[in-house]
C-alpha cells in the first residue's frame, strides 16, 4: 500500500477542484478555502434510545463535534459545506445538549456554513436550527447528499458511507474510506456511530464512473491510497 503522510502535500482532482483528503474523513479545497464533511449523524444514540431503548452511550455528538473542531482548527476554512445527514433525524437539533447546540451556532456565526439536506435530516426542526438546501456547486462540481445517477457529472457526495476491506499481513482490515473515480468522490461518514457500505458493493456502480476508481483509506495515523484490485467484498 502506498501511504500518505497527513502532513504531506497530496491532492487529487475532481473537475477543476483541487482536493486534499483529511484523516478525519473531511475534504479540503484549498483554492476556495472550503472544508467539506459528510454524514455526521448527530444525536444518533439518542434516536436509537428513543426508538428501542438501546444502551449506546449518549456521547456520539460530543465525539463527532470534537473531530469536526480538530479538522476546522487544522485547515481554518472560510466556508464549511455539510453534505447532509448532519443530524440523524429531523428533531436531532432539538435533542442536542445546550453546549452542543451552542457549538453549532458558534460555527455558523464564524464561518459561511452551508447545510445540505440528507435523507435523515431533510427537515431540521427547532428554534435557530440551520436552513437546509438541496445542493450547491463549487467551481464545476456539484455537491449534494445522494449521488445522482449520472456517471459523467462531476460530483462530491456522501450518503453511502463507503468502507474498504482488505487483507494485510494475514488479518482483515475494514475501515472508512474516500471512494474516488475520475469524476466523483464519495466521502466517508464522519459520525461516531455510523456504519459503512463495502465499496465493492454493486450500489456504487450505478453512480460512480468506472474510470480511475480507487480508495483512500482512513488508517489510524495516516491515509493509504489503494487500488480496487487490492480490496475484498464482505
Task: Report whether pLDDT(127) > 80.
Answer: no
Q: Scanning the structure block, which residue is given the C-alpha cell 453512480? A: 207
The mean pLDDT of 102-126, rounded to a whole number, is: 91
In-domain check, residue 38: yes
Measure CA 12 to chain center: 16
In-domain check, residue 223: yes
In-domain check, residue 3: no
In-domain check, residue 156: yes
User: Can you give the CATH number for the domain in which 93 is found?
Assistant: 3.60.21
Task: Report whether pLDDT(210) > 60.
Answer: yes
What pLDDT band is residue 224 in, cutting at 50, 70 and 90? very high
| Distance (Å) of CA 47 to CA 52, 90, 173, 195 | 9, 10, 29, 15
Residue of 46 and 28 predicted with greater confidence: 28
What pLDDT band is residue 122 in, cutting at 50, 70 and 90? confident
Residue of 140 and 10 predicted with greater confidence: 140
The reported pLDDT for the residue numbered 60 is 87
The reported pLDDT for the residue numbered 176 is 97
The mean pLDDT of 165-188, rounded to a whole number, is: 94
In-domain check, residue 203: yes
Total domain count, the chain? 1
What pLDDT band is residue 214 in, cutting at 50, 70 and 90? very high
In-domain check, residue 4: no
In-domain check, residue 126: yes
Q: Output b/e per residue, 40-71; b: 16+ Cβ within 10 A.
A: bbbbbbbbbbeeeeeeeeeebbbebbebbeeb
The reported pLDDT for the residue numbered 71 is 96
The mean pLDDT of 167-189, rounded to a whole number, is: 94
In-domain check, residue 221: yes
Domain that holds residue 216: 10-230
The mean pLDDT of 30-57, rounded to a whole number, is: 78
pLDDT tens for each residue of 48-86: 555 555 555 567 899 999 999 999 999 999 999 999 999
Task: Concatenate the DSSP letters of all residues of 12-69 into one string.
Answer: EEETTEEEEE-TTS-EEETTTTEEEE----BTHHHHHHHHH-----TTHHHHHHHHHH
The reported pTM is: 0.91
Task: Report whether pLDDT(28) > 80.
Answer: yes
Amino acid at each position: 500500500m502506498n501511504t500518505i503522510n497527513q502532513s504531506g502535500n497530496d491532492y487529487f482532482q475532481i473537475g477543476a477542484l483541487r482536493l486534499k483528503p483529511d484523516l478525519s474523513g473531511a475534504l479540503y479545497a484549498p483554492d476556495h478555502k472550503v472544508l467539506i464533511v459528510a454524514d455526521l449523524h448527530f444525536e444518533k444514540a439518542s434516536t436509537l434510545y428513543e426508538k428501542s431503548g438501546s444502551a449506546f452511550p449518549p456521547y456520539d455528538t460530543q465525539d463527532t463535534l470534537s473531530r469536526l473542531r480538530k479538522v476546522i482548527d487544522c485547515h481554518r476554512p472560510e466556508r464549511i459545506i455539510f453534505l447532509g445527514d448532519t443530524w440523524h433525524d429531523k428533531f436531532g437539533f432539538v435533542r442536542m445538549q445546550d453546549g452542543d447546540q451552542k457549538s453549532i451556532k458558534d460555527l455558523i456565526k464564524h464561518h459561511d456554513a452551508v447545510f445540505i439536506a440528507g435523507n435523515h435530516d431533510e427537515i431540521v426542526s427547532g428554534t435557530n436550527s440551520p436552513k437546509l438546501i438541496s445542493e450547491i456547486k463549487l467551481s464545476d462540481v456539484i455537491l449534494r447528499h445522494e449521488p445522482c445517477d449520472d456517471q459523467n457529472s462531476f460530483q462530491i457526495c456522501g450518503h453511502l458511507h463507503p468502507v474498504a476491506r482488505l487483507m494485510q499481513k494475514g488479518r482483515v482490515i475494514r475501515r472508512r474510506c474516500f471512494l474516488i473515480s475520475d469524476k466523483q468522490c464519495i466521502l466517508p461518514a464522519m459520525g461516531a456511530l455510523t456504519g459503512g457500505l463495502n465499496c465493492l458493493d454493486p450500489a456504487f456502480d450505478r453512480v460512480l464512473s468506472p474510470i480511475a476508481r480507487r480508495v483512500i483509506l482512513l488508517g489510524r495515523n495516516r491515509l493509504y491510497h489503494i487500488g480496487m484490485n487490492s480490496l475484498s467484498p464482505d
